[in-house]
């Protein structure tokens, strides 16, 4: 029932609005996001509700100033997580656009590329990126909630942590959504013998697309032993890659998942 809709862009829009708790209507977008998930799973009533909102002009598609970013725990070169430090990874950074960062703690906004900011109080904070372009006559703001727990890890609360914003170069726009991704894992990690197995893929099978990105934004071609998942598993050949940390992005059944990969 979602023919003609850029589902990935719609998920990104609804997820951003749902995460922006400074918007008094954020709960409404969370409900729409749930309806979209149900519609993707074949719920006709949810699909009708979603189309009623779309037909009323609730969303007009991409604005021209879109952004796809992900919040993740920072890590050391050896793969160890860094407490009290968070990375905001921008997948589709475009130097032709202006990016304005609002860290949500009443500090001055900044347009500095790849800024670093240290929070001094308790979270959560509503972190927002505004993308604008005079050439395209567009401007759009996207937000997420940042906080860490008592161990300095994401999604909790504590006094003070640092966020680093990084542009990952030109990576295909995509959105991660909950489904098979809940059980998705990669093994072994770290990779030591050139093979990485993807586990927990959709057991119904289907084509799999995977790409590996370095921390400088370089995209690497991957050798899939088979383009089809078998029994929810697929093996990637990673021979010849330099030791280091990479971001693995896997597309399967119309959904993207992102995982950190360490190669030794």
Q: 1-15, 164-178, 224-238 — which is least confidently predicted?
A: 164-178
C-alpha to C-alpha distances, 132 to 87, 105, 163, nearest whole angstrom: 22, 22, 22
Task: Give residue 173's pLDDT.
Answer: 31
With a cut of 90, say whether residue 264 has pLDDT above it. Answer: no
In this structure, the number of other CB atoms found within 10 A of the CB of residue 217 comes to 17
Mean pLDDT value across residues 43-72: 76
Q: pLDDT confidence of 167, banded at 50, 70, 90?
A: low
Beta bridge pairs of residue 161: 119
Domains 69-167 and 180-263 share a fold: yes
Residues contacting 171, CB < 8 A, separation 6+: 68, 91, 92, 211, 213, 217, 219, 249
**Residue pLDDT, tens place only, 97-108:** 899 999 999 899
Length of the chain: 264
Q: Report d(CA 33, CA 15) in Å as an integer.
A: 7
Task: Give residue 200's pLDDT.
Answer: 84
| Sheet with strand 195-199: strands edge to edge | 185-187, 195-199, 233-237, 223-224
Beta strand segments in 76-124, E:
81-90, 98-102, 116-122
Strands 159-167 and 185-187: unpaired
- Average per-residue pLDDT in the chain? 76
DSSP state for residue 243 in the 8-state scheme:
S
- pTM: predicted TM-score of the whole model, two decimal places: 0.47
Strands 138-146 and 159-167: unpaired
Contacts by residues 220-223 (CB-CB < 8 Å, ≥ 24 positions apart)? 220/246
Q: 23-32, 106-115, 166-175 — which is least confidently predicted?
A: 166-175
**Which candidate, 58, 56, 60, 34, places its Cα nearest to that of 47?**
34
Q: ∠141-143-148 over CA atoms, to 5°?
A: 160
Task: Give residue 103's pLDDT.
Answer: 92
Q: What's 69-167's CATH class?
A: mainly beta
Domain boundaries, the chain: 7-55, 69-167, 180-263
Task: Give residue 175's pLDDT.
Answer: 32
SS3 content of the chain, % helix, strand, coil (to 5): 15, 40, 40
Task: Give residue 163's pLDDT.
Answer: 66
Instruction: Identify the CATH number of the domain defined by range 180-263.
Output: 2.60.40.10
C-alpha to C-alpha distances, 96 to 21, 99, 135, nearest whole angstrom: 29, 10, 9
Task: Give residue 161's pLDDT.
Answer: 58
Strands 208-214 and 195-199: unpaired
Q: pLDDT confidence of 255, banded at 50, 70, 90?
A: confident
- Best-predicted range by mean pLDDT among 95-99, 159-163, 222-226? 95-99
């Amino acid at each position: 029932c979602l023919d003609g809709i850029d589902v990935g862009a719609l998920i990104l829009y609804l997820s951003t609005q749902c995460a922006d708790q400074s918007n008094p209507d954020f709960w409404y977008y969370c409900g729409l996001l749930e309806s979209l998930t149900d519609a993707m799973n074949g719920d006709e009533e949810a699909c009708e509700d979603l189309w009623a909102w779309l037909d009323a002009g609730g969303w007009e598609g991409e604005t021209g100033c879109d952004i796809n970013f992900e919040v993740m725990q920072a890590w050391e070169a050896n793969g160890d997580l860094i407490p009290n430090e968070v990375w905001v990874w921008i997948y589709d950074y475009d130097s032709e656009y202006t990016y304005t960062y609002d860290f949500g703690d009443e500090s001055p906004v900044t347009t500095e590329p790849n800024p670093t900011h240290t929070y001094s109080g308790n979270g959560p904070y509503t972190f927002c990126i505004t993308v604008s372009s005079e050439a395209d006559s567009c401007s759009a703001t996207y937000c997420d909630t940042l906080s860490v727990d008592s161990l300095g890890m994401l999604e909790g609360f504590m006094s003070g942590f640092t966020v680093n914003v990084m542009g990952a170069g030109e990576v295909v726009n995509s959105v991660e959504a909950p489904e098979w991704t809940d059980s998705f894992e990669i093994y072994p990690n770290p990779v030591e013998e050139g093979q990485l197995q993807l586990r927990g893929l959709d057991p119904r099978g289907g084509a799999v697309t995977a790409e590996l990105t370095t921390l400088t934004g370089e995209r690497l071609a991957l050798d899939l032993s088979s383009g089809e998942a078998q029994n929810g598993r697929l093996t990637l050949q990673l021979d010849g890659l330099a030791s280091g940390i990479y971001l693995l992005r896997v597309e399967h059944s119309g959904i993207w998942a992102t995982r950190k990969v360490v190669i030794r």
